[in-house]
Amino acid sequence: MKNNYNLRSHAAKAIGQVLDQGQSLSTILPALQKNISDKDRALLQELCFGTLRVLPQLEWCIQQLMAKPMTGKQRTLHYLLMVGLYQLLYTRIPPHAVLAETVEGAVALKRPQLKGLINGVLRQFQRQKEELLQRAANNESRYLHPGWLLKRIKQAYPANWEQIVDANNQKPPMWLRVNRLHHERAAYLQLLQEAGIAAEPHREYRDAIRLLAPCAVTDLPGFSDGWVTVQDASAQGCVDLLDPQDGEQILDLCAAPGGKTTHILEAAPKAQVMAVDIDEQRLAR
């Protein structure tokens, strides 16, 4: 990952676009994932989503390790540090590789003079990791929610706010939607079994399958031919409740990038569907 491409620096820039510019990772990542290997594409996605998922904890750790945060033009280096801490806490990447690649990210971000700072903070975290995690377990950063949101949840659900917060922090399962124009769900489950991919059907939604362990979409039978797509079960349930029929006129608002639109047309190929969205980038997708 030399040749001027550094995955960690791209993750840091993407996180900055989310936090400072209010953009969505779903619109930022596709462009960043072009022209890189499937393995690197998956790692970039994990670094971005993972860092943002545990943001309060990472922010708290950096506050303990640095006298003052990096601001202004150096802000992206603050996000690079977060990416480094996330790897040390939540991935199986060897620590020496984490440090080497994250420090090299400072060069890719045109701040080579800060390599020593990035290296020093990450090494200090390694030395103090157990102590910091024990202290973090006693403050609200452990809930991994912004303070304003945690306050609102506590006020609205005083009896069970902790269960709600815990549920929010669970990693979502990987759900597939079988294209019923190609296969019935039972037939596709058989294909998954033959491919050695463990899965189970949803109890209510007719096209939904949950993978017991996530996998690369390229491993899914017929993915490139449209036999199946990745879509959360709750989104699939919308179309089951709609129960579209051939010949109906259906208006799909806020439709991009088109998951429910295509599901409607798989369920009712002869329906007249108009899909509308305000976001040109999402429409293109």
At residue 1, does pLDDT exceed 50? no
- The whole-angstrom separation of Cα 70 and Cα 110 is 15
Domains identified in the chain and CATH numbers: 7-138 (1.10.940.10), 146-170 (1.10.287.730), 172-232 (3.30.70.1170), 243-284 (no CATH)
DSSP secondary structure string for all residues of 63-94: HHH-SS---GGGHHHHHHHHHHHHHHHH--S-
Chain segment 186-216, per-residue pLDDT in tens: 999 999 999 999 999 999 999 999 999 988 8
What is the pLDDT confidence band of residue 86, given thresholds at 50, 70 and 90?
very high
Confirm or deny that 257 is annotated as ligand binding.
yes
- The whole-angstrom separation of Cα 262 and Cα 269 is 9
Where is pLDDT greater, at 232 or 281?
232
At residue 280, the pLDDT reads: 85
Q: What is the dihedral of CA 187, 189, 195, 198, to 10 degrees?
A: -170
- The whole-angstrom separation of Cα 279 and Cα 62 is 35
Confirm or deny that 260 is annotated as ligand binding.
yes
Chain segment 156-186, per-residue pLDDT in tens: 999 999 999 999 998 889 999 999 999 999 9
Confirm or deny that 196 is annotated as ligand binding.
no
Phi, psi of 7 (to 5 degrees): -60, -40
Nearest residue to 62 via CA among 91, 89, 44, 25: 89
Chain segment 14-56, per-residue pLDDT in tens: 999 999 999 988 888 888 888 888 788 889 999 999 999 999 9
